[in-house]
Amino acid sequence: PGHPWARRRTPLDPAELAGTPLVLREPGSGTRQVLDAGLAAYGGLAEPLLELTSTTALKAAAVNGAGPCVLSELAVGEELAARRLIRVEVAGVALRRDLRAVWPVGTLPAGPARDLLSLTRGTALG
């Protein structure tokens, strides 16, 4: 919340995000791959401020003021709700990640797995 971006009234420009040293996941992580691809057209990522190997470590670094980071909203829901972290809009760049679910042929997910897939697909499995 103490970072200047937290007080922005307009979305962040992708080139500014790309040019800013960030607290990042390690190269090869899914989060980093999405960020690399999304910002490639804006000159790619600046040299990282820190590279860490877990989402928990990134959240802790950002909460403690090490610098801005880019994480899934699902990963930071609790921190956003408690205002320990602030969501900053980025204009004109899609930072989306496709996830896939797999299960054995001839079976359907049951219990919590079924519930989760129903939520993510917007429809019930049947």
Domain assignments of the chain as residue spans, ordered by start = 4-81, 101-126
Residue with token string 């993510």 = 120
pLDDT given at position 121: 67
Instruction: Check pLDDT > 60 for residue 126.
Output: no
Which H helix or E strand runs over 38?
Answer: helix 30-39
* Chain mean pLDDT for the chain: 90
Report pLDDT for 74.
84
Residues 69-90 as b/e (b if ≥16 CB within 10 A, e otherwise) read bbbeeeebeebeeeeebbeeeb
Q: What confidence score (pLDDT) does residue 125 get?
A: 47
- Higher pLDDT: 115 or 22? It is 22
Nearest to 84 by CA among 72, 76, 95, 93: 76
What is the pLDDT at residue 124? 46
The matching CATH number, chosen from 3.40.190, 3.30.1490, 1.10.287, 3.40.50, for 4-81 is: 3.40.190
pTM of the complete model beyond 0.85: no
Q: Quote the Cα angle for 56-57-58, to 5°.
A: 90
Per-residue pLDDT at 122 exceeds 60: no
